[in-house]
A and B are shown apart, each in its own frame.
Chain A
């Protein structure tokens, strides 16, 4: 289906230069000369790379209908992540590089949504929040009471994030996998 670029939204999947991209950001923009534009940041699903591209707002862009299916994350190897559709036990794989940094926070057995296009996996929709156990962090130095102070903590997936000083080894914390930010204690 083709739509005007002016109607693109964050999350849409489009075909551009014969490749599939997901819209990360879309802002309508009138530069004060010539026509109005849609300034977008789009992510190439094959390479995982983002580019900035300004479409003319009335330019037609091919968007594709994508299914979003809940799956269980099974395991990873050096190149791929493996998922299973729990309804029919069908297994799917996705290259790690197409997922991006949030992969550091994926725990085996977790459920997440995988986007399918023509029965092929395209991308995952990272959960807004994941709960992970702290496996290693130093005790805070006593007397350091600045509320914004942070220290590194290693999580059960191996990822290292910055956390407030009161977090101890063994605590369960929540992380926004897209930004890698600590969001609270679970």
Chain B
């Protein structure tokens, strides 16, 4: 990897910061409290699909392992349990394991918002209004510096919505009963030509999702919200009454995932069980064996009000609003892959 500087990105960079400013402006108007949080933590929530950066705190001849946070969730849920109320974090998060590419950097700007007494699909409406506001403000600012600039055509009157089960039936030809039954799902995947021997339901599922579902999401004039994922993909989300799906949605534009939202799981005993599952999966996947944040469960035990939370990749959102194609176009300095 190497350091790259792009002074010509000055204008894009200015707008990337404006996107953040307008997000804050909107959320503060709506009564959300902005919080600043650590990015280094001695313990983390175990999540099987995330890889983390590990480093060491060194004092004299003593060493303690410490991690860069992949999301601010562990801190924000504590604060919510202690009664902070509606809040957001807008800052850096870190995810290990992927080279930088057009849509990914291992160090990225995350917007994580929590609102109490609201479900995931209700929070979705607030988010749509927020993005619509930022889009409008960006358009006005752009007009001042370049009256010929044409903003990407996006409509914000409603979400294009589809459930995960509907999406698999429509684009992958896999019916609901097959989708949730591990054995049938793997058989069907094999028939479709996927390698399934030695792979878990989760691994094959995410392959088909990326191969056959994602490229179709958000291709129209509106953002697409895809919701109700199999429970295997939502360790921290509340389950639906069907007990097969979780209250999780993601939203997309032009095949790019922009954000991920849950109705948060507040039952500490169920959460404990699910985290044990995640720890097992992390072991099998040989992920960094980090210390488990027990205080997170303690906070749930103390009592978390019903709430929903969403994480948005701010660079990706800015790309969509500015009509750009690579995160690097927003940055003055980037760490990039050598070739």
Q: Which residues of A contact B (CB under 8 A)?
A: 17, 27-37, 39, 52-56, 58-60
Q: Give the bracket for the number of chain B residues in contact with chain A.
A: 20 to 34
Q: Which of B49, B51, B99 contacts A27 (CB 8 A)?
A: B99
CA distance A59 to B210 in the complex (A): 15
| Contact B210–A17 (Cβ < 8 Å) | no
User: Which B186-226 residues have a C-beta within 8 angstroms of A?
Assistant: 193, 195, 199-200, 202-207, 209-211, 214-215
Q: Which of B210, B211, B215 has the most CB of A within 10 A?
A: B210
Q: How far is the CA of A32 from the CA of B98 in the complex (A)?
A: 11
Say yes or no: A27-B202 contact (C-beta < 8 A), given A32-B49, A37-B210, A56-B207: no
Q: Does B101 contact A (CB under 8 A)?
A: yes
Question: Could you list 29 A-B pairs, sorted by A, with CB under 8 Å?
Answer: A27-B99, A28-B98, A29-B104, A29-B210, A30-B95, A31-B257, A33-B206, A33-B209, A34-B202, A34-B203, A34-B205, A34-B233, A35-B199, A35-B200, A35-B202, A35-B206, A35-B207, A35-B285, A36-B97, A37-B206, A37-B207, A53-B211, A54-B207, A54-B210, A56-B195, A56-B199, A56-B207, A59-B195, A59-B199
Whole-angstrom CA separation of A124 from B205 in the bound complex: 36
- Does B49 lie within 8 Å of A35, measured CB to CB? yes
B315 at the interface (CB under 8 A from A): no
B117 CB, min distance to chain A CBs, angstroms: 26
B229 within 8 A of A: yes
CB contacts (< 8 Å) of A60 on chain B: these are 195
Write out the residue numbers on chain A whose beta carbons fall within 8 Å of the beta carbon of B210: 29, 31, 37, 39, 54
Residue B260, interface by CB 8 Å: yes
Q: Do B98 and A35 have beta carbons less than 8 Å apart?
A: no
B17 within 8 A of A: no
Report chain A residues within 8 Å CB of B324: none
Using a Cβ cutoff of 8 Å, how many contacts connect chains A and B? 70
Q: Which residue of A lies closest to B211 (CB)?
A: A54
B203 touches which one: A17, A27, A28, A56 (CB < 8 A)? A56
Residues of A near B195 (CB, < 8 A) are 56, 59-60
Query: Is the CB of B39 closer than 8 A to any CB of chain A?
Result: no
Q: Which residues of B contact A59 (CB under 8 A)?
A: 195, 199
Q: Which residue of A lies closest to B47 (CB)?
A: A32
Residues of B within 8 A of A29 (CB): 98, 101, 104, 210
- 3 A-B pairs closest in CB distance: A34-B206, A35-B203, A33-B233
Which residues of B does A touch, CB under 8 Å? 49-51, 95, 97-99, 101, 104, 193, 195, 199-200, 202-207, 209-211, 214-215, 229, 233, 257, 260, 285
Complex Cα gap A39–B102 (Å): 13
Between A35, A53, A55, A60, the greatest number of chain B beta carbons within 10 A of the residue's beta carbon is seen for: A35
Q: Which residue of A lies closest to B214 (CB)?
A: A31
Chain A residues near B206 (CB-CB < 8 A): 31, 33-35, 37
Q: List the B side residues contacting A36 at CB < 8 Å.
A: 97-98
Contacts of B104 in A (CB 8 A): 29
Do A28 and B209 touch across chains, with their CB atoms under 8 A apart?
no
User: Which residues from A are CB-within-8-Å of B229?
Assistant: 33
When the two chains form their complex, are residues B209 and A31 in contact, meaning their CB atoms are under 8 A apart? yes
Decide yes or no: A32 and B203 within 8 Å by CB, A17-B193, A37-B210 being known contacts.
no
Smallest CB separation, B231 vs chain A (Å): 12
Residue ID in chain B nearest A59 by CB atoms: B195
Determine which of B49, B99, B202, B233 lies in contact with A28 in the assembled complex, contact meaning CB atoms within 8 Å. Answer: B99
Tell me if B203 and A30 are in contact (CB < 8 A): no
- Residues of B within 8 Å of A54, CB to CB, are 207, 210-211
Report the minimum CB–CB distance from A19 to chain B (whole Å).
12
- Residues of chain B within 8 A (CB-CB) of A37 are 206-207, 210
In the bound complex, CA of A58 to CA of B209 (Å) = 17
Q: Looking across the interface, which residue of chain A has its beta carbon closest to that of B248?
A: A33
Enumerate chain A residues within 8 angstroms of B211, measured Cβ to Cβ: 52-54
- Closest beta carbon of chain A to B283's beta carbon, Å: 14
- For residue A176, give the distance in angstroms from its CB to the closest CB of chain B: 17
* Bound Cα distance A165, B131 (Å): 44
Contact residues in B for A33 (Cβ distance below 8 Å): 49, 202, 206, 209, 229, 233
**In the complex, A96→B203 CA distance in Å?**
39
A32 and B260 form a contact (CB under 8 A)? yes
Q: Measured between C-beta atoms, what is the minimum distance from B225 to chain A in Å?
A: 16
